[in-house]
């Protein structure tokens, strides 16, 4: 992610998110999630490419500091402040 963030062509990208894969398949729940994960990743990337936005899942993410500072930081009143930040970034950049 750092390599992509440092690339001069991505200087206007505020949020980077890596693809999430499941590695713990010892129990039934993680195995079910792992089965559907490639479909989710495919659909999510199609939406991201179409609308220029990715959802921040709060892990495997890299934010551009200046963007967070411009938006006055994470709103910690939300339980999912990372998701709220991602939505805030997309709303501010779109408007």
Please give the pLDDT value at position 93: 63
Rg of the chain, C-alpha, whole Å: 15
Please give the pLDDT value at position 5: 92
Predicted confidence band of residue 3 (pLDDT cuts 50, 70, 90): very high
Q: How many domains does the chain have?
A: 1
Long-range CB pairs of 84-93 (<8 Å, 24+ gap) are: 85/15, 85/56, 86/15, 86/53, 86/54, 86/55, 86/56, 89/14, 89/15, 90/53, 93/14
Predicted confidence band of residue 26 (pLDDT cuts 50, 70, 90): confident
Q: Which residue has the higher pLDDT, 45 or 9?
A: 9
Please give the pLDDT value at position 31: 87
Range of the domain at 72: 2-94
């Amino acid at each position: 992610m750092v390599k992509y963030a440092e690339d001069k062509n991505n200087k206007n990208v505020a949020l980077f998110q890596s693809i999430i894969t499941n590695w713990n398949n010892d129990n039934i729940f993680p195995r079910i999630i792992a089965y559907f994960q490639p479909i989710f990743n495919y659909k999510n990337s199609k939406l991201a490419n179409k609308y220029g936005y990715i959802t921040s899942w709060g892990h495997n993410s890299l934010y551009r500091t200046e963007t967070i500072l411009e938006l006055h930081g994470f709103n910690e009143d939300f339980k999912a402040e990372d998701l709220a930040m991602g939505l805030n970034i997309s709303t501010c950049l779109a408007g």
